[in-house]
Amino acid sequence: GAVVSQHPSRVICKSGTSVKIECRSLDFQATTMFWYRQFPKQSLMLMATSNEGSKATYEQGVEKDKFLINHASLTLSTLTVTSAHPEDSSFYICSASPAGVYNEQFFGPGTRLTVL
């Protein structure tokens, strides 16, 4: 089946530093990747949609300068949390839609970010 990986699975950083999270589709090409944020005991909040080779589309209320998304290839998208603060601590999950497949997303295992 379609597998999506995320790296790292867990990261702890100091306030003010930047953190990069990678999302990879391991056995398929993904024209579209999605980044979600999940707060404790809550649902997933879509942050942005990224299409390979173009700028990401951010949801309302998500700071594009703080959450930098790059989708440079059909198998890799990165989310960089810039100048992280404790309130950015969360569980970040990516998903990927296979090229040519309609209405299907495969989710990564998530990355737990803790900002001290």
* Neighbouring-strand partners of residue 30: 98
Piece in contact with other proteins (CB under 8 A), picked from 14-22, 34-42, 60-68, 70-78: 34-42
d(CA 21, CA 42) in angstroms, rounded, equals 21
Does 14 interact with other proteins (rule: CB under 8 A)? Answer: no
In one letter, which amino acid is 45?
A: M
53 CB-near residues (< 8 Å, 6+ apart):
71, 72
Contact indicator for 44, 108 with CB cutoff of 8 Å: no
Which residue is associated with the tokens 């306030």?
15
Total number of residues binding other proteins (CB under 8 A)? Answer: 22
110 binds other proteins (CB under 8 A): yes
Pairwise CA distance, residues 115 & 71, whole Å? 24
Rule CB under 8 A: say whether 41 interacts with other proteins. yes
Residue indicated by tokens 């999302």: 23
16 contacts other proteins (rule: CB under 8 A) = no
Does 44 participate in binding other proteins (rule CB under 8 A)? yes
89 binds other proteins (CB under 8 A): no
Residue 84 CB, nearest approach to other proteins (Å)? 21
Least separation in angstroms between residue 112's CB and other proteins is 8
- Return residues touching other proteins (CB under 8 A): 6, 32, 34, 41-44, 46, 49, 57, 93, 95, 97, 102-110
